[in-house]
């Protein structure tokens, strides 16, 4: 058990401390997942069969691959459309609408499509690299929260609906009152970074996306490795969840779910959510998972997709992602447990 705890700590810290690990994050997570699965005794032929029978894994990979080629083909038109729109809409208002709309529609078009669309727009915004990164991070928080409103938005929502045996609109009915205002506030936060300026003369200050066919294929392959890694991490760390997490008080469980910043939130939801829970318990568990998923790059697939293409480093993401996530976590804790 102590080895698993050590591996969990390594998963959180090493991408921050090592640039080499950071640049190969998917393969690092895959390696840690393998070690965790071996340590917990869960590594088996059956585990890999279950992983490779996960149809959603192939759907995500294909969407990223096809979406990459599609957006490469229309990128010039997207840039022209954006320049036209910004003639009539103030930049800050545009960013507010972007974050709000992309968060809300992610539950319909899926979090992956939303992330691919976000990349194309953010990369050509007339703001500095630093502000592009900040807008992207805030928007990924919005996607991570908004995608849960229907079962088709992301695996977490599908898992919860299945576990609770509820209707299609259950999550919107129960969580819309919390998530929709949150997305609006995220839009306001993101709009504050809409300061129109020229990028610094240093090329490192610019986000330049050089899309080649090879780059698109490699990115899709990395997403496949990332999903397999999440499955291995979830299964490998399951003894920790079963031993220390399941029986926690709801308030503590809410904060523990910050581990969703590096672990698969769908796996955690599958382990924690039960139809025997009260509505407050379910809300606390899911809100903790949804919010913390935006805090670090491995927390959500949209984070991985956008960070990889926009070349965002872990330190850069954490600089905004962690404090913003903690503030949002604290606000929702007050709403759920105190008010």
Report d(CA 252, CA 256) in Å as an integer. Answer: 6
Per residue in 148-182, pLDDT tens?
998 888 878 887 887 787 888 889 999 999 999 99
Report d(CA 158, CA 168) in Å as an integer. Answer: 9
User: How wide is the angle at C-alpha 191 spanned by C-alphas 187 and 196, nearest 5°?
Assistant: 155
The answer to whether the Cα torsion of 268, 269, 273, 278 is positive or negative is: positive
User: How wide is the angle at C-alpha 321 spanned by C-alphas 320 and 325, nearest 5°?
Assistant: 120
- Indicate the burial class of 88 (C-beta count within 10 angstroms; 0-12, 13-18, 19 or more): exposed
Q: Output the pLDDT for position 90.
A: 94
Q: Output the pLDDT for position 134.
A: 96
Report phi then psi at 126, rounded to 5.
-80, 55
User: Would you say residue 206 has pLDDT above 70?
Assistant: no
Report d(CA 286, CA 175) in Å as an integer. Answer: 9
DSSP 76: H
User: Would you say residue 136 has pLDDT above 90?
Assistant: yes
Per residue in 76-114, pLDDT tens?
787 888 888 988 999 999 999 999 999 999 998 888 889
């Amino acid at each position: 058990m102590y080895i698993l705890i050590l591996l969990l700590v390594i998963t959180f810290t090493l991408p921050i401390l090592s640039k080499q690990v950071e640049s190969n994050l998917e393969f690092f997570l895959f390696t840690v997942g393998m070690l965790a699965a071996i340590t917990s005794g869960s590594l088996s032929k059956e585990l890999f069969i279950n992983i490779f029978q996960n149809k959603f894994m192939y759907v995500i990979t294909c969407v990223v691959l096809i979406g990459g080629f599609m957006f490469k083909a229309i990128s010039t038109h997207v840039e022209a459309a954006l320049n036209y729109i910004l003639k009539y809409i103030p930049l800050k208002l545009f960013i507010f609408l972007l974050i709000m709309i992309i968060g809300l529609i992610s539950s319909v078009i899926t979090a992956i499509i939303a992330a691919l669309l976000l990349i194309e727009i953010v990369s050509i915004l007339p703001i500095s690299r630093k502000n592009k990164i900040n807008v992207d991070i805030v928007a990924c928080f919005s996607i991570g929260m908004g995608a849960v409103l229907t079962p088709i938005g992301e695996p977490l929502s599908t898992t919860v609906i299945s576990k609770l045996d509820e209707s299609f609109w259950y999550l919107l009915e129960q969580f819309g009152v919390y998530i929709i205002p949150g997305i609006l506030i995220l839009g306001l936060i993101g709009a504050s970074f809409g300061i129109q300026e020229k990028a610094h003369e240093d090329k490192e200050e610019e986000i330049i996306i050089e899309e080649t066919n090879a780059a698109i294929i490699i990115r899709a392959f990395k997403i496949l490795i990332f999903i397999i890694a999440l499955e291995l991490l979830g299964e490998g760390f399951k003894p920790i969840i079963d031993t220390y997490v399941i029986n926690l008080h709801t308030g503590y469980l809410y904060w523990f779910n910050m581990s969703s910043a590096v672990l698969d939130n769908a796996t955690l939801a599958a382990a924690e959510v039960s139809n025997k829970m009260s509505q407050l318990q379910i809300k606390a568990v899911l809100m903790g998972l949804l919010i913390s998923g935006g805090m670090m790059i491995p927390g959500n697939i949209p984070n991985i997709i956008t960070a990889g293409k926009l070349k965002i480093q872990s330190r850069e993401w954490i600089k905004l992602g962690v404090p913003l996530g903690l503030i949002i976590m604290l606000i929702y804790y007050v709403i759920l447990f105190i008010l």
